[in-house]
Amino acid sequence: MTDSRHALIIANDRYTDQGLKKLRAPAEDAAALERVLHDPQIGDFEVEIVHNASADVMRRRIQGFFKDRRRADTLLLHFSCHGLKSESGELYFAASDTEPTLLAATAVPSQFVRGCMSGTRAGRSVLFLDCCYGGAFSRGSASVRAAGEVNVLESFAKDEPAGGRGWAVITASDSMEYSFEGDELAENSAPRPSLFTHAVVEGLETGEADLDADGNVSLDELYEYVYQHVREQNPHQTPKKAAELQGELHLARSRRGGIKIVAVDSPPHVRAALNSEEFLTRQGAVTELCHRLRRPELPVAEGARQHLAEVTRNEVQPLADQAANALSEIRLAPSPDRLDFGRIPRGSTSPQRSVTMQGPPLARHCVAQATQPWLRVDPTRGGLEVQVDTTATGHLSGDIALKGVADESVIHVEAEVAPADGTPEPEPQRSNDSTTPGPRQEDKRRTVLIDPSRIPTRPAEPPRTTEPPRTTDPTRTTDPTKTTETAKDTRGKPPSRRAPALAGVALALAVTALAMLFMTIQRGAVAIAARADAGVNGNVEDNIREYGALTPLIVCLITGAGALVVGAFARHDLGAWRERYTEQAAGGTQTLTSVAKGLAIPALALAVLAGIAYLVGSAHW
């Protein structure tokens, strides 16, 4: 995601007015939605949560959220609260201090939210409404009723964005319906997400909302998924959508679908040779495609794969067999395809097991997803590194699903977590689907991308598996150099510190630029005062040079520009290698680069103005 993405989640479940019923879902909704939107592997949004705020605070946060944005920004606002309708039919969003008899003063009107969306300069604005009468938001304030059809597009056409490119609204229910929290709005029951937000979170987190399996979840795909999910759970609730967007809006990434690589077409002479009437010419083209299939450049290899697939379907048997044999080399071949961690003490650090992906680069490029929350999967250049969660005792059995460009495979994992002191513990309850025993835990299943062209290797270490290391591969050469390389541990590097270091340098440069600016101003003021004392015989240019005002000005310009450049490198490195950074390192980098940018830009602007003033004024003083 190259654009800047921001989300504001407003969740109100407690109200001071006794007439407003306490809601169970908003707190759970906010936590679940924040997790999936903020995940850099899924939504990659910067997320803010406003929980049980007053109407005044809600208005301030909403207006601030839409204010001072750029066309490259994508904004997502989510409401989970009561929706109240005035006597005139206008929809209001209930705050913690809302009084139903004083809606205009103590609640947030839908017109206010529409105005903020209409006035923002952000390129894309998306609104999710998970509240009673949510669908009424899309209608004019004078015509809203609790029944009747909702003409969403017609009403929103009147409020075209002033500076942005488009907007979209998805509501949990029609104007004549209530949005449901589970099966019913029951008192004194355990918190659980609402049907609507649960469907949004599930569709994004699992990737099931990626209906065309292209690796991205678009707004339209998410709506279709949520609509079907909610209608299956409750036929009396109907989500609605209105949108005026230019192009397709991708809300999240998805790794559930097959790998999609934009292929580079084979050279014209190869394509021409494939269409030749001469058998040997076509055979030469197929041989060239087999070589290109093994290239490290994945788009080139993917283009060759597609052509070879056509050869297997359309060519004579000898050439079809040659193409099929080449394609068999890019099948997913994890080694080993079964991991047994054996007996592990509870609470101990899990041992690490390495899985190597065999074959050319295109065969090693795949997506891996743990099917159980106790499985931890991390990518390496040569394959995967697997660990298990040891917080609860019991027998663990699960799989890691692998998906490549044209093949799927499974790595089976088993472990036995035993009490740390050797004493028996009561057998915990667990279902037949081999989920984690013991109390309910947060689902930590991860989907990772194994990209041999991007993940760096680190120095080899002795294998940690209990199985004897493989020293030969019967399908490959027995070169001892390659055999040694196969036996190496291909785990990835430890968390990187490059981006935080660059951010620290950027901040230091920005502080230096600011200090040089103050020195320039101080020396310039002394030079101007000296020029005034000299009278008609004075020369401001000589005074500025005498007091050395130009040197700190030049240093300010250089260090200020350097701070912006180094900060940009830090942010780029963080975005390109996000999986190598801890959350603390990523947050620190973002904070340091933001502070550096906030200091460097004003310093540069003032330094440029001072330089212009010197160039223009020196001739007249």
Confidence at 168, pLDDT banded by 50, 70, 90? confident
How far apart (Å, rounded) are the C-alpha atoms in residues 334 and 585?
Answer: 32
75 located within any domain: yes
Phi and psi dihedrals of 430, rounded to 5?
A: -155, 155
- Residue among 107, 20, 120 at smallest CA distance from 76: 120
Q: What number is the average pLDDT over the span 543-563?
A: 84
Residue 107 confidence class, pLDDT cut points 50, 70, 90: very high
**CA distances (Å), 321 to each of 12, 285, 318, 325, 406, in order?**
64, 14, 5, 6, 18
Domain endpoint, select from 206, 230, 253 = 253
* Cβ pair 486, 405 in contact under 8 A: no
Q: Is the residue at 412 inside a domain?
A: yes
Average pLDDT over residues 364-374: 84
Q: Given pLDDT bands bounded at 50, 70 and 90, which one contains residue 141?
A: very low
Tokens of 82: 């009561």
Which stretches of 436-479 are DSSP H helices? none
Domain count, the chain: 4
pLDDT of residue 610: 83
Q: Could you say which of 230, 253, 276 is where a domain stops?
A: 253
Compute the average pLDDT of residues 227-238. 86
β-bridge partners, 74? 5, 124
Predicted pLDDT of residue 433:
40
Q: Does residue 549 share a domain with residue 472?
A: no
Cα separation, 91 vs 243, whole angstroms: 19
> Which tens digit of pLDDT belongs to each residue from 379-432?
887 788 898 988 878 898 989 888 888 778 899 999 998 887 655 555 444 433
Q: Is the separation of the CB atoms in 414 and 340 below 8 Å? A: yes
Please give the C-alpha separations between residue 75 and each of 28, 64, 461, 530, in angstroms, as whole numbers: 22, 12, 45, 54
Cα separation, 362 vs 295, whole angstroms? 8
Considering the domain boundaries, does residue 51 fall inside one? yes
Q: Evaluate whether 572 touches 486 at the Cβ level (below 8 Å).
A: no
Q: Is residue 83 very low, low, confident or very high in pLDDT (cuts 50, 70, 90)?
A: confident
Phi then psi for 218, rounded to 5 degrees?
Answer: -85, 165
Are both 592 and 483 inside the same structural domain?
no
CB 460 within 8 A of CB 381: no
> Is position 261 within any domain?
no
Q: For the segment 558-580, what is each residue's pLDDT rounded down to a tens digit?
A: 998 999 999 888 888 777 766 66
- CATH number, domain of 478, equals 2.60.40.10
| Closest C-alpha to 389, from 320, 439, 330, 334 | 439
Higher pLDDT: 449 or 191? It is 449
Integer Cα distance of 196 and 78 in angstroms: 11
Percent of the chain with pLDDT over 90: 22
The arithmetic mean of pLDDT across residues 90-99, rounded, is 89
Mean pLDDT of 19-23: 80
Q: Using alpha carbons, list the distances in angstroms from residue 261 to 265, 300, 406.
A: 12, 10, 11
- Residues near 406 by beta carbon (within 8 Å), at least 6 away in sequence: 305, 309, 327, 330, 331
Q: Would 258 be classed as within a structural domain?
A: no
Whether residues 306 and 340 fall in one domain = no
H-helix or E-strand containing 124? strand 124-130
Note whether 231 and 352 are same-domain residues: no
Find the mean pLDDT for residues 213-226.
86
The answer to whether residue 242 scores a pLDDT higher than 80 is yes
How many other CB atoms sit within 10 Å of the CB of residue 351?
A: 16
User: Which pLDDT score, from 0 to 100, does residue 419 have?
Assistant: 85
Q: Which two tokens stand for residue 313?
A: 């379907």
- DSSP result, 33-83: HHHHHH-TTTT--EEEEEES--HHHHHHHHHHHHTT--TTEEEEEEEES-E
Both 124 and 217 in a single domain? yes
Q: What is the span of the domain harbouring residue 590?
A: 498-617
Residue pair 175/148 in contact by the 8 Å Cβ criterion: yes
Residues in the chain: 621
Q: Does residue 416 belong to any structural domain of this protein?
A: yes
Q: Cβ(415)–Cβ(342) under 8 Å?
A: yes
Within-domain flag for 260: no
Q: Are residues 338 and 324 in the same domain?
A: no
CA distance 264 to 534: 73
Is 157 found in the same domain as 223?
A: yes
Q: Phi then psi for 117, rounded to 5 degrees? A: -65, -40
Q: How much is the pLDDT for 211?
A: 80
Here the contacts of 399-403 (C-beta below 8 Å, separation 24 or greater) are: 399/371, 399/372, 400/355, 400/368, 400/369, 400/370, 400/371, 400/375, 401/368, 401/369, 401/371, 402/332, 402/334, 402/366, 402/367, 402/368, 403/257, 403/258, 403/259, 403/366, 403/367, 403/369
- Say which CATH number the domain at 188 has: 3.40.50.1460
Same domain, 324 and 339: no
Cα gap 14→9, rounded to integer Å? 16
Instruction: Print burial letters for 277-287: b (CB count within 10 Å at least 16), e (below 16).
Output: eeeeebbebbe
Q: Are residues 100 and 72 in the same domain?
A: yes
Do residue 44 and residue 159 come from a single domain? Answer: yes
CA dihedral 118, 123, 128, 129 (to 10 degrees): 0
Judge whether residue 134 has pLDDT over 50: no
| pLDDT higher than threshold 90 for residue 224 | yes
**Confidence grade of residue 617 (pLDDT, cut at 50, 70, 90):** low
The mean of the pLDDT values for the chain is 77
Please state the pTM of the whole predicted model: 0.46
Mean pLDDT score, 373-381 = 84
Q: Is the pLDDT of residue 314 over 90?
A: no
* Whether residue 152 is found in the same domain as residue 285: no
Q: How far apart are CA 320 and CA 314, in angstroms?
A: 8
Strand partners of residue 218: 250
Confidence of residue 3 (pLDDT cuts 50, 70, 90): low
The answer to whether the CB of 449 falls within 8 A of the CB of 379 is yes
Query: Where does the pLDDT of residue 50 fall: very low under 50, low under 70, confident under 90, or very high at 90 and above?
Result: very high
> CB–CB of 347/390 below 8 Å?
yes
Q: What is the pLDDT of residue 373?
A: 82
In whole angstroms, give the CA distance from residue 433 to residue 485: 38
Pairing of the two strands 4-11 and 73-80: parallel
Instruction: Convert the pLDDT of each residue in 474-524 to its tens digit.
Output: 333 334 333 333 333 333 445 567 888 888 898 999 899 889 888 888 887
Distances in Å between the Cα of 604 and the Cα atoms of 68, 522, 523, 573 are 21, 16, 17, 24
In sequence order, what are the residues at sequence separation of 6 or more whose Cβ sits closer than 8 angstroms to the Cβ of residue 410? 337, 399, 400, 401, 402
Structure tokens at 285: 């083209």
Residue 152, pLDDT > 70, answer no
345, 420 in Cβ contact below 8 A?
Answer: yes
313 and 294 housed in the same domain: yes
- The pLDDT value given to residue 180: 54
pLDDT at 132: 64
pLDDT band at 26 (very low <50, low <70, confident <90, very high): confident
What DSSP assignment string belongs to 228-271?
HHHHHH-TT---EEEEE-SSPPEEEE--SS-----PPPPPHHHH
Q: Tell which wins on pLDDT, 455 or 115.
A: 115
Task: Answer whether residue 263 is part of any domain.
Answer: no
Sheet with 83-85, strands from edge to edge, namely 83-85, 91-94, 107-109
The band of 10, judged by pLDDT with boundaries at 50, 70 and 90, is: very high
pLDDT tens by residue, 326-367 = 999 888 889 999 999 998 898 888 888 999 988 888 888 888
Alpha-carbon distance 173 to 241, whole Å?
Answer: 10
Quote the strand ranges of 284-419, DSSP E: 334-335, 338-345, 353-357, 366-370, 375-379, 383-388, 394-403, 408-418
Q: Which of 189, 224, 253 is the last residue of a domain?
A: 253
